[in-house]
Structure 1
């Protein structure tokens, strides 16, 4: 029976802020061994397609669970997508602009960010994100949006963004930095993974996931075996069945070699 293994990106197979901007040779070899064994390998990330660098796009993964499960691809086929309602997007963007909240609207292929949002652009530059699929000129009514990221400059902006989590949305945030990632509660990495497993007719017990962040909790606790990175917070580790070494120490490869293979 074939298996499916899902990998988060940041803090799991890459660590852009600490110099790991390519998948290390040992991790590449381990993932390739899974594919040679007939297993499927997927990326499961909060990132939209526009944020996937060439390293990830060109590796040869069997598909992607993007924007925290709101957009799912197996090979080149989209098997699921659910955008945020346009009325909700328009209302939030109106408030963002009133409160001077820099924001990026994450779509299917392109993501949309105004050229004048220099601080937000600089933040993405630190993650080596290409501007190839970042669009500054757009009509908000003409684009489908699956996730939003925001950068607040003051307390009023932070308070507004925090208030959005009381409704249909959830978020990852760093209040100190004023940064937020907002997404629909109806979609998670876990829900996207289940759609992949159903599509490929793979039982849940034959699935594995590697992750390190808050938005990995659902998938770590929903797959057959959730594996937390050694650099994950203890709160995240508590939802995993196994804990491996850190991203810096090739934790993904270690667990694939000694446990999955």
Structure 2
């Protein structure tokens, strides 16, 4: 029976802020070995397509669970998508301008960010995000948006942002950088993974996921075997069935070689 293995990016396959900007050779070899074995490999990420570097796009993954499960592809086929309500987008974007909140609207394949949002551009530059799929000129009413990210260190702006979070939307707040992510509660990495498994007719006990962050918890606890990275927090690790070594010590490769392929 074929297996399906899902990989988070940041802190799992790469660690851009700490010098690992591409998948290491050993991890590449291990992932390709899964495919040679007849198994499927997928990226499962909060990132939109625009935030995948060329190495990830061209690696040969069998598909992508993007923007926390709001857009899902198997090979070149989109099997699921759900964009954020357009009236809601129109309302909040107007207020983002009012409160000087810099923002990016994440679509497929492009994401949309104004040229004048210099601080946010600089933030993405630090992660090595290419501008190939970033658009500065766009018409809001023509866009399908799956997730929004914002930069705001002003109290009025932060208070406004927190006021729009409700039963339908969830968020992540990086207080150190004044960075926010806003996305639908209906979609998660786990819900996207379940859609892939259903599409490929793979039983959940034959599914695996690697992750390190809080937004990986649901997928780690949903798949047949969730594997936390050694660099994950203890809080995240308790939701996984196994814990491997760190991203810097090729933790993904170790678990593939010694467990999944055995």
TM range (shorter): over 0.9
Which residue of 1 is the match for residue 5 of structure 2? 5
Tell me what 2:239 maps to. Answer: 239
Shift of 1:177: 1.8
Q: Is structure 2 residue 119 aligned with structure 1 residue 119?
A: yes
The one-character-per-residue Cα deviations of 1:198-243 (angstroms, maximum 9, x if unpaired) are 0000000000000011111110010000011111111111111111
CA distance in 1 between counterparts of 2:124 and 2:168 reads 26
Instruction: Confirm or deny: 8 A CA contact 1:158 1:175 kept in the other structure.
Output: no
Flag structure 2 segments of 5+ consecutive residues without an equivalent.
none
Stretches of 4+ moved more than 4 A in 1?
none
Q: Which residue of 1 aligns with 2:36?
A: 36
Count the aligned residue pairs: 261
Task: Please give the TM-score of this superposition, normalised by the length of structure 2.
Answer: 0.98
Inter-partner Cα distance in structure 1 for 2:164 and 2:28: 39
Residue 224 of structure 1 is matched in structure 2 by 224
Q: CA deviation at 1:53?
A: 0.2
C-alpha distance after superposition, 1:48-91 (max 9, x if no partner): 01111011001000000000000000000000000001001011
Report the alpha carbon displacement of residue 161 of structure 1 after superposing the two structures with TM: 2.2
Counterparts of 1:1-261 in structure 2, within 5 Å, are 1-261=1-261
Local SS of the residue matching 1:80: strand
TM-score, length-scaled by structure 1: 0.98
Q: Is the 8 A contact 1:172 1:214 kept in 2?
A: no
Deviation at residue 160 of structure 1 after TM alignment: 2.2
The separation in 2 between residues aligned to 1:91 and 1:239, in whole angstroms, is 37
CA distance in 2, matches of 1:98, 1:176: 23
User: What stretches of structure 1 of length at least 5 have no aligned partner?
Assistant: none
TM-aligned CA deviation for residue 4 of structure 1: 0.1
Assess if the C-alpha contact under 8 Å between 1:100 and 1:153 holds in 2.
Answer: no
CA distance in structure 2 between the partners assigned to 1:191 and 1:15 by the alignment: 25
SS of the equivalent of 2:245 reads coil
What per-residue deviation string (whole Å, max 9, x for no partner) do you get for residues 135-177 of structure 1?
Answer: 0011110100000000003112222223333331111211232
SS class of match (1:56):
helix
- Superposition deviation, residue 188 in structure 1: 0.2
